[in-house]
Amino acid sequence: MSKPAKPFVPVAVLEAVADYFKILSETSRLQILQSLRSGSMNVMELCEATGLGQANLSKHLKVMTQAGILTRQARGTSAYYNIADPLVFEFCELACGQIGDRLQQQAKTFLQAAPFPPNDRTANKTTQSQKTTSQKTPSQKTREKAPAPTSHIRN
Partner DNA sequence: CGATTAAATAACTATATAGTAGTTTAGTTT
Partner DNA sequence: AAACTAAACTACTATATAGTTATTTAATCG
Amino acid symbol at 38: S
Burial of 11 (0-12, 13-18, 19+ CB in 10 A): exposed
Subset of 60-79 contacting its own copies (CB under 8 A): 68
For its own copies, the closer CB: 97 or 117 = 97
Site mask for its own copies (CB under 8 A), range 104-123, x = bound: --------------------
Contacted entry of DNA, its own copies, none for residue 85, CB cut-off 5 to 8 Å set by kind: its own copies
Region binding DNA by CB under 7 A among candidate stretches 60-68, 110-118, 127-135, 146-154 = 60-68
CB nearer DNA, residue 70 or residue 122: 70
Q: What's the closest the beta carbon of residue 138 comes to its own copies, in angstroms? A: 25
- Alpha-carbon dihedral sign for residues 39, 42, 45, 50: positive
| Single-letter amino acid code for the residue at 20 | Y
Asked if residue 77 binds DNA (CB under 7 A), the reply is yes
4 — phi, psi (to 5°)? -65, 150
Q: x/- string (CB under 8 A) for its own copies, residues 13-52? A: xxxxxxxxxx-xxxx-xxx--x--x---------xxxxxx
What is the phi/psi pair of residue 2, to 5°?
-75, 175
CA distance 12 to 104: 36
Task: Among 66, 82, 94, 108, indicate the residue that binds its own copies (CB under 8 A).
Answer: 94
Residues near 146 by beta carbon (within 8 Å), at least 6 away in sequence: 104, 107
Nearer to its own copies, 81 or 138 (CB): 81
